[in-house]
Structure 1
Amino acid sequence: MKRNLFAALVATLILGTGIGVFHQRSVNIGDAHAQGAPAGLLAAASAQALPEASIIDQDAPYHEACAREGLSESECVGRLIWFKATAGNDRFHTYTFQQRIGVLVDWFRVLRADQRDDRFWAWGIINDPSCCKPGDPDCPAKSAAETYGFDWCPGDDVLLKYVGKPGYIDPACGLKDAALDPDDPHSQGGKVDQRHSACDLKFGTSTGALGIRKFPNPRFDAAKWQALNGESGSWSGFDSPLIAKTGIESDQRVSRLADGSVEPPFLIGTSCGSCHIAFDPLNPPADPAHPRWENIKGLIGNQYTRMSELLGSGLPMSSLEYQMFAHARPGVTDTSAISHDQVNNPGTINALINVAQRPVFKGEVVTKWRKAASCGSESDESKCWCEPGRDGKCWQRSTRNDDVTPVNLGGKKVVLPGVHHILKGGEDSTGALEAIQRVYFNIGSCSEQCWVNHLADMREVDPEQRGFGQTPFDIGQCRRDCPNFRAVEDRLQNVLDFFASAESDQTDLYAALANVRQAGTSSVAYSRADLVRDLETEFGAGAVGRGQLVFAENCARCHSSIPESEGGSFNNRDFAAASEAHPRKIRADFLGNDQATPVTEVGTFRCRSLHSNHKAGNLYMESASETLRERPVVADIPERDELKDAGRGYMRNVSLVNIWATAPFMHNNAIGPEICGKPANKANDFHRARYVDSGGQLLAQQPDCLRYDPSVEGRFDLYKLSMFELLHPKERGKKRTLTNADLLIDVGIRPLDGKTEKPLFGFGQVKIPAGTSAGFLNGLMHKQLIGDLFLAKRHPDRLEAAGKASLLPTLQTIADEIIKNPSRFVDILREQRDFISANYQTCTEEIENQGHRFGEDLSEADKKALTAFLATL
């Protein structure tokens, strides 16, 4: 996203303009719309027809899972949507992401069938148990050529017929919706079905990896593909360096994936489940590369996923974008990577456990669109809008403080008084339904219709131009113009019902160990009392009971959802007690209060708390409550005052339910051993060395990473190692992420013959050596730096008027040095690192595993007791 930023800086200083002259890749996105009629018309037409029947029912294992979990009709529909619905983001992941944002995904590298057995170990994604490798016994596809090198999956006998042809009817068109909600004002008492066509949910078929879906590309040209790749089942030409086509030297480091003139056989989309589908801690697979459907859960969150590396899989390691974003730990993703806010803030994927017990907050002031039966005399679409062709299906935008969250529990509707705080800073805080809808935006749905033009263009350094900074997108406009939005919105309650279903219920260690014994030779029952006995054998007599008291006295004020004013003294509390009001009697205490805590109090990696997408004027402004934005400033954050606004500087604590199964710890998985996949294909081994010395440089001898182990024993062992680090901060070492390859940024103008690149003012390439701080690159406010350097040379009076007179001498020195010797550009900035960090960095924190020192001063016996007790929760 920041390709050629430094080139732009040099061009700004030399040419006196904010628009740098540098080599840009030629792309072709406009004609991608030529696939046929507009999406809304296609949906209307498709609604009249059902999808063709496949030789294998791809929904069968989903319905079996619903029966196994005892899910209701609404919960089951919500589950299907969560696992399958892409809401049209196949266009985003095939065209927009690459050609508008400049990040390349090599889907064949990730999903190629001949490396199916290595896929989990490389990318952390979960193989679809229903799919098979072409040529394997009983696989309907006998060769990779039949599937263009992908797995064969149920529904592909139909889908493959439409590769290169129009007319495919999406399987979502056959969705059997749940019964209408009589309390929904749009259903007129449950009598009128006004839901948008399910076709626009867009299911497609599986790619072989759960949550990643494929669609036939009607614009695919088989002859051109064969000529480029040599055979149908190979992508060797499509993902090869672009230099083979252009002959331009710098194109050696650019993939053919950037060539918009070549269409792949499939459009690839992702569902929300792509990050959240994971292995069931109660019933993990014997072989993670070959799971069965009963090993799969949809809500716990995938703690092994390498989603950042996946989304950058078509980029060379020498690219700035790759080094900025493809460094999050397994199970961690930067939800601001696409909507980049120039803050290095990756966070763990939410573990959605015991969702029905999650705290809600009364009285939050929320501005949002709410369902209405009419708009009355209001004609302003920015305030109220009724969907054409529907009777009384309207939405009205208003500011209120009385929102509630309706959840179905065991067939009984329960209304929770208030809204949830979802993301790590609570910034997704306008309601649970709206939070689910925001996930679809975050994975690319409706991008072209309503939000991609609101992103900051990292290459645009002219403040007068669109794309210089983020702007908020209008959810009302998105509803009006994006049919996929309406298809999802009309079924959000089904998804929320799934969140509160038995699939989100706790997965306790004693139950997991009981399953291990039953799967082995022992038929003897194993209870919580047995677990307590075994823990006290390992951690000391009476450890669990003592640990409960230690927890009550030291942890419960943050990690209990039931305050003492409601549940009595923590010291007398049974934190494992079941909720009598819940039909399945799940644990009453969520073991986290979701309250915003100043990051200075927690002491953990503070960059995550400085997220800014929810600020007024920024992209996701409409996803945050007014209450959140008006929180008082966290006074002691060691950052500049302009970063302490919009309620930033806080962290939402996490639930401790079943933490035995979800280590490592903290919002970035940095406390605990580093984990990795150790794939057979070493080109897909993304493990990074992170342990550094007191000077921030990598230790010569790095601790070995622990290979992914989703077994019960593997999870529990990782939990114990992580708890030791949590309670012994001095034993953690220091972790810091550095670039693991030289960054090469080409600067040049292309002469008319289009072949030879000439240096720009003798400045042909910027090289940033490996070992540079990835966080520094991610948080560099390069636009402000460029602008101030320009003003320092051209209009110093403007800097003085802006209150930056103290910066002027250093800025002028830097500008003079760059103009005099542009080839020393990187060295000049490095020499001024302290100045730049102090004035042009969004977050200066770089040690990623510090903080949360609560419990450090406990005795060793109490630390063991606390570890034992938390394992029972």
Structure 2
Amino acid sequence: LSDLLKTLDSRKRPSRFKDMGLVNEPGFKQASKQDQYGLWLDERVGPEPEGIDPKVYGKASGILGLRLYPNPAFDAAAKQHWDAEKYYNDPNYFNDPNLIRPYRVGMACAFCHIQMNPLRPPDDPENPQLENLSSNIGNQYFKVNQIFGAELKPDSFVYQLLDATPRGTIDTSLISTDSINNPNAMNPLFNVGARLAEAVPEKVAGGALYLPPRDETRNVPHILMDGADSIGLYGALDRVYINIGEYHQEWLQHHNLLIGIRKQSPIEITKSQKDSVYWQATEPRMDNLAKYFLKTATPMHLADAPGGSDHQTKDQTVLNRGKIVFAENCMACHSSKQPPNISFNDRFSSDDYMRWAREEVVKPDFLTDNYLSIDQRLPVTMIKTNAARALATNATRGHIWDNFSSENYKNSPSVGEIEVYNPFDGSTNKFKMPSGGPGYYRVPTLVSIWATAPFFHNNALGKYTGDPSVKGRMEAFDDAITKLLWPDKRDDKNSIWVTQQKSYLRIPAVYLPEAFQSTLGYRSRIILAYPWLLPLILAILGIALFIFGLRRKHKLLLGGLGVVIVVLAVGLMMLSYFLAGEKGDLVLGPIPKGTPVNLLGSINSQADFSDLLNVVLKTRSALHRIENENLDDAAAAELMKKEVAPALLKISNCPDFIEDRGHYFGTQLSDDDKKALIEFLKTF
């Protein structure tokens, strides 16, 4: 699925930003020749920077955020087997799980967070200079299927799922899967000091007590989209490094990579502190990283961008009206400056709050050190945006990130029911949100909102321009803000992510043993190592029972049972060799064009066995008919709609398919007030 060494292919450098959304590192050029191992890697122009130990930090790769390390496992035997030509061109060769590559590729935070600076955009996004880059804006152009699925073909369902993922988003629970397809935007980081001032007291327990400030009750900001990362800034930063491979030896023991099915368990902070030298090396650096963001994460004002003022009104009357509209309709959630004596719930009905807000918003320093968010978790029943990210479970009790969420989060009550649209019959149904953490979104900041479109946690509101210039950003902002305030202009049902062609779910034969073992545990190794053993034992038992039965009174019953056991042994033999990867790839399909990707991407593998079995049988029957009867796209879609979709919807972790719905606050305003509000937002 993913090979970051191939992502580094220097022949892709001229269009990396356009195709993948990655940032070409200044000081490099496209390779003029292959390296000593036959790989196409960017070539440095000029000397290496001083003071960077390559044994610790690796060498720059030519893509910001990816670092190259020599692979210590690349010994003489690996060198003898290595063939760069096959590595680039032969799927049987590069898909071999035992293939040892010359380099390891390390990932830094910059990979997902550095992008073009809105205030100093480059003339050519494929060739930026350091002054054209920002470490706070977040990678709004990231294209996940080109980065992590470049070897996939369009007839692969995984390709279709990743291709549907909007630019600038990634499902951070894709690897340690929660069985929900929930890509979310790369967070911009602004006004961190003001954000920390908004942190609220929450209770922590377990491993979180061993991270600063080591208090049972502490003020915590809410880092992730759903507010789950809630034990403090240090814990949030530490968790990211585990998620990108810092202590993978332990991390991978607590979840079933990509596949899920097997129940997760928490990775423990105390064990990481004790046993991982990488954690031990990283944790002391978190203080400096936090200080860095405190210093650098400042707002980027449109007025300071080249030509930015051309996109702003000169009419002070309009701007003043926009401030009042903001105070009356947005400020209760989108300002870190709030009166101390009025509760959140009272802000929506209190005359005192409205008077205070109207006076506060016109003050000259209103935007100074204002995070433009209350940084609280609010129920998705209130926000009404797509619920996928709010349903994430990795930080719930007993799951992989248990140690990184507060007790307040884990003990959160259910927010109730949401309404979801059924794309197969057009009905609207109720879905009960679970308790124990899921069901909430934290309030996003509006700082520099002009530069961060498309909107929503999934970047689903507004068009993607792919243009980091001021003109390109304003085109994206204008489209997104128009759709936000005039919801009739949204894509609505057309925002549902669907497959663009007939596709198949394939697991190459070489990966089947690993997938089988990771799902059923190490006890399954005997089947993989000796696929003939259990069938042979069963066959001997069946034959013995058949012979024994011939000598007994009930010979038909016993003999028949012996025959059945022998037949089962033959079937088990075929299955065992298949799971051992000796009978070809696992292929499921065809999956019809137009199938919602989340119908298959959010299956609850922990559902009742009877419901899961029903899905398997109905899906197998439908796919068999589609293939054997050579049904066209329309007929195949109709069959899926009638036979398979109801069963799949019943076991869906998130049957919420419309991506650009929700956040209808302000949509009732007059057109003039909406336009005035937009002008004020451009000053943030």
The TM-score, its normalising length taken from structure 2, stands at: 0.77
- Structure 2 residue aligned with 1:483, among 255, 262, 277? 277
1:818 Cα shift? 7.4
Q: Do the aligned residues in 2 keep the contact of 1:575 with 1:589 (CA within 8 Å)?
A: no
- Structure 2 residue aligned with 1:535, among 299, 303, 312? 312
Matched, 1:632 2:426: no
1:831 Cα shift? 3.1
Report the counterpart of residue 304 of structure 2 in structure 1: 511
Q: Do the aligned residues in 2 keep the contact of 1:553 with 1:570 (CA within 8 Å)?
A: yes
| Paired residue type of 2:496 | R
Structure 2's unaligned 5+ residue stretches are 342-352, 421-429, 510-573, 628-635
In structure 1, C-alpha distance between the alignment counterparts of 2:619 and 2:659, rounded to whole Å: 33
Report the counterpart of residue 710 of structure 1 in structure 2: 468
* Superimposed CA distance per residue, residues 440-492 of structure 1 (whole angstroms, 9 cap, x where no aligned partner): 111122111x211111356576xxxxxx1111111111121111011110111
| Paired residue type of 2:669 | L
Equivalent residues in 2 for 1:310-389 (5 A)? 310-358=147-195, 359-369=197-207
In structure 1, C-alpha distance between the alignment counterparts of 2:131 and 2:332, rounded to whole Å: 37
Matched, 1:571 2:358: yes
In structure 2, C-alpha distance between the alignment counterparts of 1:659 and 1:498, rounded to whole Å: 22
Report the counterpart of residue 865 of structure 1 in structure 2: 676
Task: State the superposition RMSD in angstroms.
Answer: 3.6
Report the counterpart of residue 400 of structure 1 in structure 2: 216
Report the counterpart of residue 324 of structure 2 in structure 1: 549
1:327 Cα shift? 2.9
Q: Do the aligned residues in 2 keep the contact of 1:106 with 1:257 (CA within 8 Å)?
A: no
Distance change in 2, residues 1:482/1:720 (3 Å):
same
Report the counterpart of residue 238 of structure 1 in structure 2: 87
| Paired residue type of 1:767 | P
In structure 1, C-alpha distance between the alignment counterparts of 2:644 and 2:363, rounded to whole Å: 51
* Higher helix fraction (1 or 2): 2
* Superimposed CA distance per residue, residues 44-78 of structure 1 (whole angstroms, 9 cap, x where no aligned partner): xxxxxxxxxxxxxxxxxxxxxxxxxxxxxxxxxxx
Q: Do the aligned residues in 2 keep the contact of 1:577 with 1:589 (CA within 8 Å)?
A: no
In structure 2, C-alpha distance between the alignment counterparts of 1:128 and 1:555, rounded to whole Å: 39
In structure 1, C-alpha distance between the alignment counterparts of 2:622 and 2:448, rounded to whole Å: 58
1:825 Cα shift? 9.0
1:419 Cα shift? 1.1
Report the counterpart of residue 236 of structure 2 in structure 1: 435
Distance change in 2, residues 1:222/1:663 (3 Å):
farther
In structure 2, C-alpha distance between the alignment counterparts of 1:660 and 1:131, rounded to whole Å: 31
In structure 2, C-alpha distance between the alignment counterparts of 1:155 and 1:220, rounded to whole Å: 28
Report the counterpart of residue 452 of structure 1 in structure 2: 252
1:322 Cα shift? 3.5
Q: Do the aligned residues in 1 keep the contact of 2:223 with 2:229 (CA within 8 Å)?
A: yes
Report the counterpart of residue 300 of structure 1 in structure 2: 137
In structure 2, C-alpha distance between the alignment counterparts of 1:636 and 1:754, rounded to whole Å: 41
Report the counterpart of residue 502 of structure 2 in structure 1: 742
In structure 2, C-alpha distance between the alignment counterparts of 1:421 and 1:789, rounded to whole Å: 35
Give the % identical residues.
30
Matched, 1:855 2:666: yes
1:772 Cα shift? 1.3
Report the counterpart of residue 570 of structure 2 in structure 1: none
Distance change in 2, residues 1:767/1:505 (3 Å):
same
In structure 2, C-alpha distance between the alignment counterparts of 1:665 and 1:496, rounded to whole Å: 26
SS of the equivalent of 2:287 reads helix
SS of the equivalent of 1:551 reads helix
* Superimposed CA distance per residue, residues 14-45 of structure 1 (whole angstroms, 9 cap, x where no aligned partner): xxxxxxxxxxxxxxxxxxxxxxxxxxxxxxxx
* Superimposed CA distance per residue, residues 371-420 of structure 1 (whole angstroms, 9 cap, x where no aligned partner): 88xxxxxxxxxxxxxxxxxxxxxx7997711x2xxxxxxxxxxxxxx111
In structure 2, C-alpha distance between the alignment counterparts of 1:508 and 1:815, rounded to whole Å: 54
The TM-score, its normalising length taken from structure 1, stands at: 0.61
| Paired residue type of 1:657 | V
Q: Do the aligned residues in 2 keep the contact of 1:536 with 1:542 (CA within 8 Å)?
A: no
* Superimposed CA distance per residue, residues 738-768 of structure 1 (whole angstroms, 9 cap, x where no aligned partner): 12343324699599899998699xx975321
In structure 1, C-alpha distance between the alignment counterparts of 2:457 and 2:617, rounded to whole Å: 42
* Superimposed CA distance per residue, residues 548-574 of structure 1 (whole angstroms, 9 cap, x where no aligned partner): 111000010110111133798110124
Equivalent residues in 2 for 1:74-223 (5 A)? 103-105=1-3, 107-108=5-6, 110-135=7-32, 148-153=39-44, 173=53, 202-220=56-74
Distance change in 2, residues 1:818/1:349 (3 Å):
closer
Matched, 1:768 2:591: yes
In structure 2, C-alpha distance between the alignment counterparts of 1:421 and 1:563, rounded to whole Å: 18
SS of the equivalent of 2:220 reads coil
Distance change in 2, residues 1:488/1:228 (3 Å):
closer
SS of the equivalent of 1:476 reads helix
Report the counterpart of residue 669 of structure 1 in structure 2: 459
| Paired residue type of 1:840 | I
In structure 2, C-alpha distance between the alignment counterparts of 1:765 and 1:419, rounded to whole Å: 45
Q: Do the aligned residues in 1 keep the contact of 2:591 with 2:623 (CA within 8 Å)?
A: no
Matched, 1:659 2:446: no
| Paired residue type of 1:545 | N
In structure 2, C-alpha distance between the alignment counterparts of 1:460 and 1:337, rounded to whole Å: 10
Report the counterpart of residue 380 of structure 1 in structure 2: none
Q: Do the aligned residues in 2 keep the contact of 1:470 with 1:619 (CA within 8 Å)?
A: yes
1:588 Cα shift? 2.2
In structure 1, C-alpha distance between the alignment counterparts of 2:377 and 2:404, rounded to whole Å: 17
* Superimposed CA distance per residue, residues 344-363 of structure 1 (whole angstroms, 9 cap, x where no aligned partner): 21111110011111043333
Structure 1's unaligned 5+ residue stretches are 1-102, 136-141, 159-169, 175-198, 230-234, 244-255, 373-394, 404-417, 462-467, 518-530, 580-585, 676-705, 791-810
SS of the equivalent of 2:504 reads strand
In structure 2, C-alpha distance between the alignment counterparts of 1:594 and 1:328, rounded to whole Å: 26
In structure 2, C-alpha distance between the alignment counterparts of 1:753 and 1:724, rounded to whole Å: 54
Distance change in 2, residues 1:576/1:848 (3 Å):
farther
In structure 1, C-alpha distance between the alignment counterparts of 2:43 and 2:361, rounded to whole Å: 50
